[in-house]
Amino acid sequence: TVLFDTGSSNLWVPTVSAGKPMYFNPNASSTYEPLGQVFHIRYGSGPVWGYFCRDTVAIGDLNLRNFTFAHVDDASTIRNYDRTPFGGVLGLGFPSISMGNVPTVMEVLAQSGQMAEPVFAFYLANSRSGELVLGGVNTAHFVGDMVYVQLVLAAWWAVRLDGVKVGELELQPEARIAIIDSGTSLLAGPEWEVERIAKHVGAVAESSSYRLPRCHEGLPSLTFTLGGRDFTLAGKDLVLGSGI
């Protein structure tokens, strides 16, 4: 299993040495080709080292023959890797940030003509199964019109951050670019700007998170203006377990 990550552009999978129940076994593949080139990438949760190789990669009904990816023997350098439900990472970022300058999965899929459209779409569900569509969009998962936001940097999925609003209070962030990153479950930002938001909602710092000293009912909404469009999270959506 892999994490589909818009914050990176490489595909790597674990070998049996990584300790995951599902792994890649080069010896069991008749099409495996070692390349003898070291692979290295650094995530926010830590670095990973491995080796590049070529083999056939299958994602559902989609097949990439002779595709270059990496296999990793030890991924314990990633924080809490032993507790993650995934073994490897499939990057959905742009070629400009691909380690080793190898082609990306989406780049090769688009060139192969296997997809109806050169797009992918996530449905991030709450308390039920989510979905990733490669080559289209499942219209059953949204209402209204699709909203498009112009990219400002074709490396990560980076868009213009025009403003942040807590309830009706407008904050003018110094950070002007936001990255849409499917590889993380949390909202992250410059420390002092996050502290400003926490202060306005009454949260106090506790270890690596913030805690509300009162019931979160009545918590103000949080609005991000991206590319001139407002995207609002209700107060209840800001709370993860007992923290914010």
Q: Please give the helix or strand (H or E) that residue 100 lies within, else none.
A: none
pLDDT at 244 over 50: no
CA distance 15 to 51: 11
Q: What is the pLDDT of residues 157-181, one digit of tens each?
A: 999 999 999 999 998 888 899 999 9
Residues facing 52 on adjacent strands: 70
Residue 180: per-residue pLDDT = 93
CA distance 82 to 92: 23
Q: Is 145 a catalytic residue?
A: no
Report the chain's mean pLDDT, rounded to a whole number: 91
Which tokens is 237 given?
């959506």
pLDDT at 243 over 60: no
Query: What's the average model confidence in pLDDT over 118-139?
Result: 92
**Active-site choice (55, 61, 181, 237):** 181
Query: What's the average model confidence in pLDDT over 192-202?
Result: 86
Residue 214: per-residue pLDDT = 60
Q: What is the pLDDT of residues 25-83, one digit of tens each?
A: 999 999 999 999 999 999 989 999 999 999 999 999 999 999 999 999 999 999 999 99
Give the sign of the dihedral formed by CA 167, CA 171, CA 176, CA 179: negative
Write the DSSP symbol of residue 83. Answer: G
Residue 67: per-residue pLDDT = 98
Residue 164 backbone dihedrals phi, psi, to 5 degrees: -135, 135
In sequence order, what DSSP letters do the residues of 24-76 get, joined into one string? Answer: --GGG-TT-EEEEEEEEEEETTEEEEEEEEEEEEEETTEEEEEEEEEEES--T
Q: Please give the helix or strand (H or E) that residue 86 lies within, else none.
A: none
pLDDT band at 213 (very low <50, low <70, confident <90, very high): low
Q: Is 237 a catalytic residue?
A: no
* Residue 21 CB contacts under 8 Å (≥ 6 apart), including other chains: none
Among left, alpha and beta (phi > 0; psi -120 to 50; other), residue 32 is beta
| Tokens 């991030």 -> residue | 124
Q: What share of the chain is helix, strand, coil (3-state, %, to 5)?
A: 15, 40, 45
**Active-site choice (5, 55, 74, 237):** 5
Query: What's the average model confidence in pLDDT over 222-238?
Result: 89
Which tokens is 43 given?
């995530």
Instruction: Report the DSSP pairing between strands 131-134 and 33-43.
Output: unpaired
Distances (CA, A) of 67 to 29, 57, 63, 89, 225: 14, 7, 9, 15, 38
Q: What is the pLDDT of residues 78-107, one digit of tens each?
A: 999 999 999 999 999 999 999 999 999 999
